[in-house]
Structure 1
Amino acid sequence: MRWQELFADLEAQLVAEARLEQAAEVPDRTRRERADVSWLDRAARSAGTVITCATAAGVVRGALEDLGREWLLVQEQGRHAALLPTAAVLSVTGLSVRSDDDRGMGRRFGLGVALRAIARDRAPVAVHDIAGGLATGTIDRVGSDHLDLAEHPADALRRPTALTGHRVIPFAAIAIVRRA
């Protein structure tokens, strides 16, 4: 009978040790899972909610309408939507704490594709740069890392008589693109 008691005691010790290991593993697993979550994952979960993004060119506040790998589209109240490169976002308030749904990361295309769509629209835009500068005009071309802006007043159509210049703006310098 003594061995049975000894074996029962050993089994109880193993069960207690397994419970301690599991209790220690849960917080560690949670930390690892949280470490894999990007702020864009949280933004994808926040689509449709009001967020506030700080950029070097100012604050953009509105409903998060869409997002992709390198950009956010925020519908500002009383204005046209603002396209923000994610690299220009300094901080965000209003994001969901959770990111564990099936919506995924948003659209799969990057900033260049989004800017090409805006260029095809031929609508005048206001491009705010990270140094606080502002240029208005129409996006003529979009390269792999820059856009070509035909400069003209925001309230004028792109006509040769309205052009005041041409500007190349690297993506890294863009803080906000708004429809003018």
Structure 2
Amino acid sequence: MRWDRFFEDLQDQFDAEWEAERAILDTEGERLRLAKVGLRERLVELGRGDPAARTEVSFELRDDSTVTGRVSAVGADWVGVESAGRTGIIPVGSIAAIGLDHADMLRSARPGPDGRASLTERMTLGFVLRDLVRRRVPVTVLTAHGRALTGTIDRAGADHLDLALHDPGSPRRAEAVRGHRLVPFAAVAWVRVDAVERL
């Protein structure tokens, strides 16, 4: 009888050690999984689901400004944000921090199944800006130094854009243009589309 109890104690001890080892392995496995999750993947998760059900997040930018809205699209190096009925484009490189609630933080850390990136997810910032050039949409470009430039993007190169400056809300007409700026993509904190456009 004493031997039965001895073996039961050994079995209980073995089970407890096995559970502790499995918990350690699970924790380490989760750490390794999270080590492979990139910011872009988390942004994609924040943009999934019904647009009306998405919560607002705050993008704190390198120029100390904050853009608050819902993630509407995520590209290769940019994120689209819907805020107060307007669309904004934020280069991922200009994001200093993202404020979001705990539930969204946990949800975004669990990306969906691996699959092929959608066409939107493969588009670069230059590609999206060239689409705005084609549409002749008025924009406000906020630079990394906090300067707001309003106008229409005339051209978008590999790493910069050409902006014709004019008053917000007015169409780009030669007589309305009051100057031009070459703006490197690295200096763009965000681009607000001043017309009612959706990306």
Query: Would you call these one fold, judging by a TM-score over 0.5?
Result: yes
Aligned residue number for residue 66 of structure 1: 73
- If the length of structure 2 is used for normalisation, what is the TM-score? 0.75
Say whether the 8 Å CA contact 1:45–1:96 is kept in structure 2: no
- Secondary structure of residue in 2 paired with 1:100: coil
Distance 1:23 1:136 in 2: 55
Q: 1:58 to 1:23 in 2, by over 3 A?
A: closer
Distance 2:130 2:92 in 1: 17
Distance 2:173 2:36 in 1: 49
Distance 1:83 1:45 in 2: 17
The structure whose residues are more often helix, as a share, is 2
Query: How many residue pairs were aligned?
Result: 169
More displaced stretch, 104-113 vs 15-24: 15-24
Q: 1:30 to 1:84 in 2, by over 3 A?
A: same
Summarize the alignment of residues 52-91 of structure 1 with structure 2, pairs less than 5 Å apart.
Answer: 52-55=58-61, 56=63, 58-77=65-84, 79-91=85-97
Distance 1:93 1:43 in 2: 12
Aligned residue number for residue 7 of structure 1: none
Larger radius of gyration: 1
- Secondary structure of residue in 1 paired with 2:122: coil
Aligned residue number for residue 97 of structure 1: 106
Distance 1:15 1:76 in 2: 54
- If the length of structure 1 is used for normalisation, what is the TM-score? 0.83
Distance 2:155 2:28 in 1: 49
Unpaired runs of at least 5, structure 1: 1-11
Indicate the RMSD between aligned Cα atoms, in angstroms: 2.4
